[in-house]
Amino acid sequence: ESYQAVGDEAVIEIDPGMAFGTGTHGTTMLCLEMIAELLDSEAPPANMLDVGTGSGILALGAAALGCGKVLANDIDPLACDVAAENVQKNTYADQIEISPLPLEKLTGEFDLVVANILAEENIRLKNDLLRHLRPGGWLVLSGILLEKEALVREGFADLPLEDFPTRTQDEWVCLLYRRRK
């Protein structure tokens, strides 16, 4: 689809190939909206971890909106290849690194961690997500069906996180947390 940017719009060219993520799915749009708001805040995140990057759409969106460094992570080698191609095509290789390592093997803390993956995977990875989240940092969780919101909230209830109101689109939810300092 051809598109001409209007004003200061950030435009990303994406080819999802065999990976998930064109930007039109409800969970992707919710995450992109949340990333945009956080990057437009008084203290924007300087770096981000994108867990389950797929096509790299969220990493690319964050870079296009001004996030200085993004680590895009996916355990699917095909998704990493697709994400790398999209990063190169959009000339964000200086800002975005792609990693195929499992989350538990990654190092570093981030101001923003985004996981647009299934509800059960968010819960399974909760301790690793927290380990990568800097105190005061933001955690965005999506890929969660409305009927699984309570399950995810219950799964994260024991972590040192402040929760914010749920955002919804169609049958999907996006949860925002902030790690207590």
Determine the longest span between alpha carbons in the chain, in angstroms.
Answer: 46
Strands 167-169 and 161-163: unpaired
Q: In the beta sheet, which residues pair with residue 179?
A: 161
Residue 78 CA, distance from chain mean position: 18
Please tell me the predicted confidence (pLDDT) of residue 22: 56
Question: For residue 5, what pLDDT band results from cuts at 50, 70 and 90?
Answer: confident
Structure token pair of residue 178: 């902030």
Give me the mean pLDDT over the 56-77 stretch: 96
Which pLDDT tens digit goes with each residue over 82-140? 999 999 999 999 999 999 999 999 999 999 999 999 999 999 999 999 999 999 999 99
**Pairwise CA distance, residues 156 & 144, whole Å:** 13
Number of Cβ within 10 Å of residue 76's Cβ equals: 16
Give residue 23's pLDDT.
Answer: 55
pTM beyond 0.85: yes
Residue 51 has pLDDT above 90, yes or no: yes
Query: What pLDDT is stored for residue 4 in this prediction?
Result: 74
149-178 exposure pattern, b = at least 16 Cβ within 10 A, e = fewer: beebbebbeebebeeeeebeeeebbbbbbb
Between 105 and 2, the more confident residue is: 105
* Count of C-beta atoms within a 10 Å radius of residue 69: 18
Q: What pLDDT does residue 8 have?
A: 79
Helix (H) or strand (E) holding 89: helix 77-89
Residue type (1 letter), 160: P
Q: Each residue of 126-178: pLDDT tens digit?
A: 999 999 999 999 999 999 999 999 999 999 999 999 999 999 999 999 999 99
pLDDT for res 180: 96
